[in-house]
């Protein structure tokens, strides 16, 4: 047995010690959000008729499908999955990518990995410790979501399928972050890459739902195929409370396995502290603009500013399209007006 993993246990305990506040906060707030959204379904849409009405609007409204998901039916569990599950998977994704990068690339960037690497730990110990902790966090998250949904009175099988779907997405994204952490020399850039993948996965799932096919019943949908390209799509494709397709879990687990194998192989091929993408050398002199306070602020923050500008613009376009779609819908569909505000989450649809 090689010693490449020697010390993983100690480093995993170190990661838990460092994260003893952060990870529980992520997990508990995600679970709380799920539990709250689930219990709110009942009071918002008490009758079958309410639910049918709202879902009939939803399947025709791109913005709603984007931020909710393709509906699978009107039961309590199905309404909960429609309302919040994709968002829980998104949160699991961010929890995972931030934690993996925190315990891998951030250690390398600060030089801590070098001090650790000079002790009797194996080459792969750091990465395997980070992944162990993050996979563990997702398993806990999955179990707690299952318990919380069951506590809301939903069927146990569907509840735990929903939890597993969310946790599995988190695990798949942990693999994504493990690879991202091999690429860049800085933790911020690695976080940026991983978070972008999570965001794109969410968008892909959303678009696949928008372009999905409305079933003859008029209120359930089958997502378009791109849903199968997204770990968050897979969460929904498990169809919790609507068949509980457990076999779909194979996909995130396989993706995690492939990405993890790749990241270990990349770790073995590179030097500690270095990224596979080399840092570009920059200018040797400050430009005139840099020497003004505003210029300096721009130079230091431009990456962040550009990132946010793009994000907010995209968000604005999306919200705009929702508003238009909703307005069209309202013009033709008077009986759902009262429900729309609840569903859009106070997004100002009137």
Provide the binding-site residues for another protein, judged by CB under 8 A: 2-3, 6-7, 10-11, 14, 17-18, 110-112, 114-123, 271-273, 278
Cα dihedral sign for 46, 51, 57, 62?
positive
Task: Provide the minimum distance between the beta carbon of 121 and another protein in the complex, in angstroms, as a whole number.
Answer: 6
Q: Of 107 and 235, which CB lies nearer to another protein in the complex structure?
A: 107
Neighbours of 297 (CB within 10 A): 11
Instruction: Measure the CA–CA gap between 93 and 160, rounded to whole angstroms.
Output: 18
Q: How far is the CB of 11 from another protein (least distance, A)?
A: 8
Q: How far apart are CA 305 and CA 187, in angstroms?
A: 18
Nearer to another protein, 277 or 297 (CB): 277
Task: Report how far apart, in Å, the C-alpha atoms of 29 and of each of 33, 206, 219, 231, 314 are.
Answer: 6, 23, 31, 21, 26
Q: How far is CA 137 from CA 28, 50, 133, 314, in A?
A: 11, 37, 6, 31
Contact 212, 205 (CB under 8 A): no
| CB 270 to another protein: min, Å | 9
Q: Which is nearer to another protein, 18 or 299 (CB)?
A: 18
Nearest-approach distance from CB 282 to another protein, in angstroms: 14
The smaller minimum CB distance to another protein, of residues 273 and 295, is found at 273
Taking the complex as a whole, how short is the minimal distance between the CB of residue 110 and another protein, in angstroms?
4
Cα 292 from chain centroid (whole Å): 39
Identify which of residues 124 and 205 has a Cβ nearer to another protein in the complex. 124
């Amino acid at each position: 047995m090689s010693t490449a993993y020697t010390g993983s246990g100690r480093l995993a305990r170190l990661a838990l010690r460092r994260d003893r506040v952060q990870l529980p906060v992520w997990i508990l707030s995600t679970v709380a959000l799920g539990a709250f959204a689930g219990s709110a379904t009942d009071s918002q849409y008490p009758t079958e008729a309410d639910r049918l009405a709202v879902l009939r609007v939803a399947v025709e409204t791109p913005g709603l499908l984007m931020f909710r998901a393709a509906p699978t039916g009107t039961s309590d569990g199905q309404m909960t999955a429609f309302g919040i599950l994709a968002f829980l998977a998104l949160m699991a994704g961010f929890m995972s990518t931030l934690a993996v990068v925190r315990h891998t690339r951030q250690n390398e960037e600060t030089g801590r990995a070098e001090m650790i690497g000079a002790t009797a730990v194996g080459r792969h110990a750091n990465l395997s410790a980070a992944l162990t902790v993050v996979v563990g966090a997702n398993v806990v998250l999955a179990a707690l979501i299952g318990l919380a949904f069951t506590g809301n009175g939903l069927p146990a099988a569907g509840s735990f399928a929903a939890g597993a779907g969310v946790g599995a997405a988190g695990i798949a994204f942990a693999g994504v972050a493990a690879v991202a952490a091999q690429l860049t020399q800085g933790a911020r850039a690695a976080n940026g890459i991983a978070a972008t993948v999570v965001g794109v996965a969410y968008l892909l799932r959303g678009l696949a739902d928008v372009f999905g096919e409305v079933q003859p019943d008029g209120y359930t949908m089958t997502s378009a195929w791109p849903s199968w390209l997204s770990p968050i799509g897979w969460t929904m494709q498990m169809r919790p409370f609507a068949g509980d397709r457990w076999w779909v879990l194979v996909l995130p687990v396989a993706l995690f396995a492939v990405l993890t194998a790749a990241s270990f192989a990349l770790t073995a091929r590179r030097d500690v502290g270095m990224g596979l993408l080399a840092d570009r050398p920059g200018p040797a002199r400050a430009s005139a603009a840099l020497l003004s306070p505003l210029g300096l602020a721009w130079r230091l923050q431009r990456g962040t500013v550009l990132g946010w500008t793009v994000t907010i613009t995209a968000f604005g376009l999306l919200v705009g399209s929702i508003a238009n779609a909703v307005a069209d819908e309202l013009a033709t569909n008077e009986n759902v007006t009262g429900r729309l505000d609840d569903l859009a989450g106070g997004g100002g649809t009137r």
